Structure 1
């Protein structure tokens, strides 16, 4: 029995520099989303086969620190030219809302959810942290359709590997997780694919769209197991970092941001 009709796989890329920690005021620079739906859902809500329906992708122009670091470009492959001509975060949200409305997920007038859908990410950071930070920097509230708990795919894969006995020969990754019962072990996307005996990563690591496509592959495989696909990570829209000032101000010293 599956509680959701649709799944939105998100993998954010954001501004960064060498050595920056999780408390840095990251700005979103790529917003890719893969929409998945059931293709075998019965009247009583049972399903196990997910298929990709559509993709949304936009680069995002940062406004607090519009110049990308060399480290960020090398990591993500996103160039200064890519973001200089991109819409800002509020504009991207408008385009994304049109995408959601087109696929019947939200009401085009109110933005209220029209169907049961859930955001899915590799780890908790994409919406829980990056969206919250970006909303402060852009001085806008988090849209209602982005509020709600999320499915952390990484956590689901680790829990599955730690709790079940695979009929197929175990990969070294799966065996290690089962042996140590590390349900919250950090597993990069290529290791998750390996643990599920899926073909290797396709595309470029840290390209948001390629990451999202591969995470979608993992979710499709998870749906084939007895797993009930449901939230396992909370979003904290009111979370605050030390650098958040009133009115969207960013109190982050320039000396702490290398060129």
Structure 2
């Protein structure tokens, strides 16, 4: 997931110069439209971005990466990684054991220290940032599995980068009302099948343990880069940290184009799925849809 912090931003090319953090997390898609299952986070990367061209008026339009946080996370519900997960992400069981990856609650403590070090939490512990779209579901699920509350600094509204890119493209290429949705899709090349990730849902940074394949169509990071006329994806696709770094490129490009980087999706920390029992950490196996 890509997470960026900033003040409420006005439209136009200039923005208040405040620290911004880009946290990216990636996960394979978990299933079809109706598939609802537990998902465990196994990688949690963050890229911190700041506005670098602050003027006398306190406004800026150039974002740059100034710090990173990255750790693998040991799963507990299904501690053994699937072969599919390893092939997709490059993360192996030996890797998790050898580096003594922290459990999710321990990772939250480390992330909190990182945010404090970079002055990204206010005196009430609230994050000054927006967070990636995928935090909406996967962090909420993981907190339930790990028997912890969703931290206050991971609540609130978040920035779904894919939606932001699609909105930007729509403004550049408004749909022709005389044509069908499919015809308009072909006219704007980035929406075509060649550049859409069909098999997996890229969750922009957080790597989670996959338990099923998916068919949901969404624009992946490589397609976002292409849509913004940026160079190809750098690194390994589906690696959380590489996804995060590439999403920062997308955010920086949108900022240069004057796109307001504002939250567009809410997190629902109290959301519940059918497999969740009455107590935190209780998974109702009979309610799993796999």
Fold shared, TM-score > 0.5 on shorter chain: yes
- The residue aligned with 2:171 is 163
Q: Root-mean-square deviation (CA), in Å?
A: 3.0
- The residue aligned with 2:161 is 153
Give 1:193 deviation, angstroms: 0.5
TM-score by length of 1: 0.82
**Partner SS, residue 9 of structure 1:** strand
**Partner SS, residue 246 of structure 1:** coil
Give 1:15 deviation, angstroms: 8.5
Distance 1:75 1:19 in 2: 19
2:131 paired with 1:94: no
Write out aligned runs for 1:210-249 (5 A).
Answer: 210-248=242-280, 249=282
Distance 1:130 1:4 in 2: 30
Give 1:82 deviation, angstroms: 2.3
**Partner SS, residue 87 of structure 2:** helix
Distance 1:17 1:224, change over 3 A: closer
The structure showing larger relative contact order (alpha-carbon pairs under 8 Å, at least 6 residues apart) is: 2
Moved runs in structure 1, 4+ residues, more than 6 A? 15-21, 254-257
Deviates further, 33-42 or 10-19: 10-19
- The residue aligned with 1:116 is 128
- The residue aligned with 1:55 is 68
2:121 paired with 1:106: yes
**Partner SS, residue 266 of structure 2:** coil
Question: Are the equivalent residues in 2 in contact too, given 1:16–1:72 (CA < 8 A)?
Answer: no
**Partner SS, residue 8 of structure 1:** strand
Equivalent of 2:285 in 242, 246, 252: 252
Deviates further, 84-93 or 19-28: 19-28
Question: Are the equivalent residues in 1 in contact too, given 2:47–2:245 (CA < 8 A)?
Answer: yes
Give 1:177 deviation, angstroms: 5.8
Distance 2:289 2:141 in 1: 17
**Partner SS, residue 237 of structure 2:** coil
The aligned length equals 240
Give 1:95 deviation, angstroms: 0.6
Question: Are the equivalent residues in 1 in contact too, given 2:20–2:51 (CA < 8 A)?
Answer: no
Gaps of 5+ in 1: 166-171, 180-184
Question: Are the equivalent residues in 2 in contact too, given 1:18–1:71 (CA < 8 A)?
Answer: no
**Partner SS, residue 37 of structure 1:** strand
**Partner SS, residue 284 of structure 2:** coil
Give 1:118 deviation, angstroms: 2.1
1:185-217 alpha-carbon deviations (Å, 9 max, x no partner) = 821111110110000001111100000000011
Question: Are the equivalent residues in 1 in contact too, given 2:86–2:92 (CA < 8 A)?
Answer: yes
1:106-139 alpha-carbon deviations (Å, 9 max, x no partner) = 26xx6614x73222x3xx22x1010000000011
1:224-244 alpha-carbon deviations (Å, 9 max, x no partner) = 012111101111111111000
